[in-house]
Structure 1
Amino acid sequence: MIKKIQALLAISTLFIVFQTTAWATMQTVSLPITVDYLMLRKLLVAGSFTEEGESATLVDEGDGCIQLRLATPHLSEQEGTLRVELSVFSQTGVPLGGACYSPVKLQGYVVLYQRPVINPVDWKLSFETVRTELLNVHRKSTRVAGVVWKFAEPYIAAYLSGIKIDLMPPVKNIKDFVSPLFSADKEQQVKAMLASMRPGTIELEPSALYLPVLVDVASVYDPHERRSNIISDKKRLKQTVALWEQWDDLLVHLITRLAGRSLSEDEKEVLVGVLLESRYRFVSELSDESIRHDIVRKQFIEAWRQLAPLFRKYFLQQGESKGILGYLGFFSSVDALMTLDKLGPTFGVEISTAGLVRLVEMLQVNPSFFYYGSQPNANLQELFHIHPLEKQEEIPIEEDSFQDNGGVLKRMFNTLTVSTAYAATNTKQTSMRKILQWKVPEADVTDYIQRVRDVLKASTAATLIKGNVPEQQQAMFQKLIQAMAWQESCFRQFVVKNRKLTYLLSYNRSSVGLMQVNERVWRGLYDLNRLRWDIYYNAAAGSEIAALYLKRYGLRKEVTNRKLDDETMARLIYAMYNGGPSQRTKFFKRFSSKKLYESDELFWKKYQMVSAGDVGKVSLCLVGR
């Protein structure tokens, strides 16, 4: 009986150990190098068909009497082999005294069915010919005189068998990129993994050649690991924010490189959506202190799933052969990240600054471009159909209209100073006097409210003139902009803090001015400095952003799947203005279930008051009466 109890105790103890111990498991993972046939063709051309017209001269003797040229390779998969079709021109004759006697010509196409082979030592890709086929100029099977083919075949076979594509650079790129994905405590594990890299069996698919790069990885799985990865440490949060800013720079770079291509409107929508969703999500998590240390990795993977098809399409079809191995390394490295990410969070894959820099280098871009600047990006503006905003003509204001019985302006100059950050960098923009015009009066705000309304009307009119709002929505849009400014800032561009007049900044320090334009979301699309200090520019930007959401998401039936009345449309646009394109579905869900956010309800009340002509009630939030 005692022995049975001891045995049960031993089993129980072993079970507890099993349940509380992190187990390491070894597994072989495939990190595929995907070589699209268009990419493979460019590699062939860049290495072996470098003469004019993507050609290669194999033989040229007797002043051209004896010639053999191959040109314009085309690749595809056929019955498990790589089909390589080349145009061929061959001539054999007898060169004598500067003339060519009895020339026999061959002109058409040669097709080689090949088996790709990878050398496991130097990672060089070569091709073994399985069979050959000749086609005439009309690409029909043909037979030729034996003497012509007997002359040409050995040269063609020798030339093509000598072609080797060095895949060591993309393999090295994978190693260089993967290495910093892991924390320092996994150094030995990573070294062992990278040392185990070896080529697998090449697979030919209809669109691409797949070379599996096999690695042995030891992943650790802890069934009881419940640690939250929400960042609470200020130093680590600062590092994560800096890393995200570098990722945002890289994302803008990728998007603008694509934006210069001949994209369809749907493809442009993908680019716009990827950037906006990435930024809105970051701002949201940063604001509610739910940001996680792996946000960059997650955003990178989510973005690449959408961008990869466009990159492969446009940079393979339209790109130059120069630097193609860099693109292959970039694609392969990101594919490796996505594969490793599937192993689970406890595997410890993260993206670091070093990893981002390596990706940029693969694209042959100087890593110094990582600069989280505030100036507009012309390519980004073009993609969003946002035109550079010039300062609008200010509505003439008589000086005594804001002196309030005299002396107010003088006292403002004597008791208030404008933030030194503005004074030091904005001498060519709005003057201090004009900024002080927009200080909220302490007593009667009737005139101030009307002047702000005039600014909003002017910005709305400018947006309507550009044709960004259909005629049937224009009345709604004019009310929308006033209601948004009321909800967002209570008609304020500036506030007084510590006896200094400065721009209105949101509680989470991300949105500024009259329309509370989010600086992180709209960086590169608007001049951030002018958003802060120029009420006209801020109003124009807010109006243009609202029009963008109306046109791109509100009016597209495939997006809303319904025809909206003006009031619902206004509420939808405001929800997206605050939360990004994803709010188009989230808002309808809230609207249908009658579980609206407080911000939804507050905006709706203000929109109704604007519709009823009660804009004067803005004074309640300005001065409390």
Structure 2
Amino acid sequence: MNKYFIITVFSFLLGISRSGIADQLSVPVQIDYSLIKKAIIAQLYTGKEHSAELWNDRYGCSYLKLSNPNVEGQNGQIRLVNEVQAKFGTGMGGDCLTILEWAGVLETFQQPALDSNRSILSFPITRAGAYDRQGRHLAIDKLQELIKRFAEPRLASVKVDLNESRRSIGQTLAQFFPKNKVMQAQDMLNSLRFDEVNAGKNGLNIKLVFDAPAKINTANPKPAAPFSETEQKQWQAAWQQWDVFLSTAIKQVSDDAELPELRETLLQILKDSRSAFQAGLKEHDPDSADPVRAFFTHTWQRLSPVLSAVAKEAPGMQGLRYITLIAATDALYELENISAPFGLEISSDGLRRLARLLIAGQQQTQSEPPHYKP
């Protein structure tokens, strides 16, 4: 078990939805600009009160400083606005002769882009301009030179690494597949990549894309039988481990966001999941609402705003995993045809199939002889 279990379950269920492209699945992901701002501050604005001294002459006569960055989207690009302090001078007889001293605003427009491996976000600058406090554009040659030489390269050097998110989902998913599904699942996970990034009004819009297995059985599978008494006991044993893990993860989520009041909401959702999953594993009236699908639908209405708050408040880049989960799960509920090579779906039948796969995987692991470690 690890801290990415929640994302794993939703991502696994999401992976069963087919996009418009044959044998390819895609999930829309929106990265809020607050997260981009955190990345910029963490990598560049490491001085007091979110400031960045980009250049100085070591004598105090000349420097270029940025502070208080603000990020938004405009016309398909990121618009980054900074407060700027610039001074340029020369030493003379032990004193500093100031040639230029200025304070105002630096505005840059930056086009989000993915590297050739489709896993690193960068923000090359397409346009930069300096303005005074009244918003008048300035064309001071020396100031433009300082901005061109020292500000633009540093601002364009900021990167957002998406590798960890992709790798963590894959590593966690691999734990839950029985041996006869590992190769099939690994081929799919190895193809996981990000694509088509663009700057929207509220955040960066990215596609999370991966290849479906060559053959997918889209026919409706036979209903899964309710759990027997023996299977119920096996499930309870497995669920106790997950229950402990999820309780710990909930504490971490609320601590990450520094919003302890979220813990009560998340713990209530966990409590509801226990009863909903238990009802889904047992036999129930086929003409009544499916308890598992009803749980996911109702829970997402409560959980989505909670995760949005967590994503914005979580320190550093930790909010990325919550943003990915929000976008992925929203997409899931817009899709009507759900099918998968692993026979999973968000329903009581799907839960029974998933639970049997997980129990079988645990039993296989427990039955393996211990490996010798020199």
Q: Same fold (TM over 0.5)?
A: yes
What whole-Å deviation, never above 9, does each CA across 1:431-453 have from its counterpart, x for those lacking one?
Answer: xxxxxxxxxxxxxxxxxxxxxxx
In the alignment, is residue 208 of structure 1 matched against residue 200 of structure 2? no
For 1:597, the equivalent position in structure 2 comes to: none
In the alignment, is residue 123 of structure 1 matched against residue 119 of structure 2? yes
- Give the deviation of 1:247 after TM superposition: 4.2
- Give the deviation of 1:115 after TM superposition: 0.6
Structure 1 counterpart SS, 2:201:
coil
Aligned partner of 1:344 among 316, 332, 338:
338
For 1:240, the equivalent position in structure 2 comes to: 235
For 1:261, the equivalent position in structure 2 comes to: 259
Bigger Rg, which one: 1
- Give the deviation of 1:217 after TM superposition: 0.4
In the alignment, is residue 312 of structure 1 matched against residue 308 of structure 2? yes
Q: Distance in 2 between matches of 1:96 and 1:345?
A: 77
Q: 1:312 to 1:319 in 2, by over 3 A?
A: same
For 1:231, the equivalent position in structure 2 comes to: 227
Structure 2 counterpart SS, 1:221:
coil
Q: 1:346 to 1:168 in 2, by over 3 A?
A: closer
- Give the deviation of 1:299 after TM superposition: 5.6
For 1:101, the equivalent position in structure 2 comes to: 97
Aligned partner of 2:188 among 193, 196, 202:
193
Structure 2 counterpart SS, 1:202:
strand
Q: Distance in 1 between matches of 2:275 and 2:24?
A: 38
- Give the deviation of 1:131 after TM superposition: 1.5
Paired residue type of 2:259: R
Q: Is the 8 A contact 2:276 2:292 kept in 1?
A: no
What whole-Å deviation, never above 9, does each CA across 1:186-237 have from its counterpart, x for those lacking one?
Answer: 3222222123233311022222212212111036225352232422261x32
Q: 1:101 to 1:147 in 2, by over 3 A?
A: same
What whole-Å deviation, never above 9, does each CA across 1:405-447 have from its counterpart, x for those lacking one?
Answer: xxxxxxxxxxxxxxxxxxxxxxxxxxxxxxxxxxxxxxxxxxx
Q: Is the 8 A contact 1:94 1:101 kept in 2?
A: yes
For 1:52, the equivalent position in structure 2 comes to: 48
- Give the deviation of 1:33 after TM superposition: 4.2
In the alignment, is residue 43 of structure 1 matched against residue 6 of structure 2? no
What whole-Å deviation, never above 9, does each CA across 1:272-313 have from its counterpart, x for those lacking one?
Answer: 753453344345557x6559xx99999678645532322332
When structure 1 is superposed on structure 2, of 207-216 and 190-199 the one drifting more is 190-199
In the alignment, is residue 329 of structure 1 matched against residue 321 of structure 2? yes
Q: 1:205 to 1:254 in 2, by over 3 A?
A: farther
Q: What RMSD over aligned residues (CA atoms) do the two structures have, in Å?
A: 3.7
Q: Is the 8 A contact 1:231 1:237 kept in 2?
A: yes
Q: Is the 8 A contact 1:36 1:207 kept in 2?
A: yes
- Give the deviation of 1:176 after TM superposition: 1.9
Q: Is the 8 A contact 2:311 2:322 kept in 1?
A: no
Q: 1:327 to 1:62 in 2, by over 3 A?
A: closer
Paired residue type of 1:160: L
Q: Distance in 2 between matches of 1:303 and 1:53?
A: 39
For 1:164, the equivalent position in structure 2 comes to: 159
Q: Is the 8 A contact 1:169 1:329 kept in 2?
A: no
What whole-Å deviation, never above 9, does each CA across 1:132-184 have from its counterpart, x for those lacking one?
Answer: 2323235x233242222223332111212222222211121232234345443
Q: Is the 8 A contact 2:307 2:323 kept in 1?
A: no
Q: Is the 8 A contact 1:258 1:311 kept in 2?
A: no
Aligned partner of 1:88 among 81, 84, 90:
84
Paired residue type of 2:168: N
Structure 2 counterpart SS, 1:56:
strand
Q: Distance in 2 between matches of 1:320 and 1:81?
A: 25
Paired residue type of 1:261: L
In the alignment, is residue 71 of structure 1 matched against residue 39 of structure 2? no
Q: 1:301 to 1:118 in 2, by over 3 A?
A: farther
Paired residue type of 1:29: L
For 1:381, the equivalent position in structure 2 comes to: none
For 2:4, the equivalent position in structure 1 comes to: none
Q: 1:198 to 1:258 in 2, by over 3 A?
A: closer
Q: Distance in 1 between matches of 2:327 and 2:241?
A: 20
Q: Distance in 2 between matches of 1:231 and 1:122?
A: 43
Paired residue type of 2:304: A
Structure 2 counterpart SS, 1:121:
coil
In the alignment, is residue 154 of structure 1 matched against residue 152 of structure 2? no
What whole-Å deviation, never above 9, does each CA across 1:363-407 have from its counterpart, x for those lacking one?
Answer: xxxxxxxxxxxxxxxxxxxxxxxxxxxxxxxxxxxxxxxxxxxxx
For 1:281, the equivalent position in structure 2 comes to: 276
Superposed, 1:169-180 pairs within 5 Å as 169-180=164-175
Structure 1 gaps of 5+ residues are 1-24, 355-625
Structure 2 counterpart SS, 1:201:
strand
Q: 1:346 to 1:146 in 2, by over 3 A?
A: closer
Q: Distance in 2 between matches of 1:132 and 1:276?
A: 52
Q: Distance in 1 between matches of 2:245 and 2:86?
A: 49
Q: 1:78 to 1:184 in 2, by over 3 A?
A: same
Aligned-residue sequence identity (percent) comes to: 23
Q: Distance in 1 between matches of 2:277 and 2:192?
A: 35
Q: Is the 8 A contact 1:90 1:152 kept in 2?
A: no
- Give the deviation of 1:26 after TM superposition: 4.9
What whole-Å deviation, never above 9, does each CA across 1:107-137 have from its counterpart, x for those lacking one?
Answer: 1211111111111327221112121232323
Paired residue type of 2:121: L
Paired residue type of 1:170: S
Q: Is the 8 A contact 2:218 2:339 kept in 1?
A: no
Paired residue type of 1:344: I
> Please, what TM-score do these two structures have when normalized by structure 1?
0.45
Structure 2 counterpart SS, 1:220:
coil
Q: Is the 8 A contact 2:81 2:106 kept in 1?
A: yes
Paired residue type of 1:190: A
- Give the deviation of 1:37 after TM superposition: 0.8
What whole-Å deviation, never above 9, does each CA across 1:237-293 have from its counterpart, x for those lacking one?
Answer: 233223433444455445554496276xxx89955753453344345557x6559xx
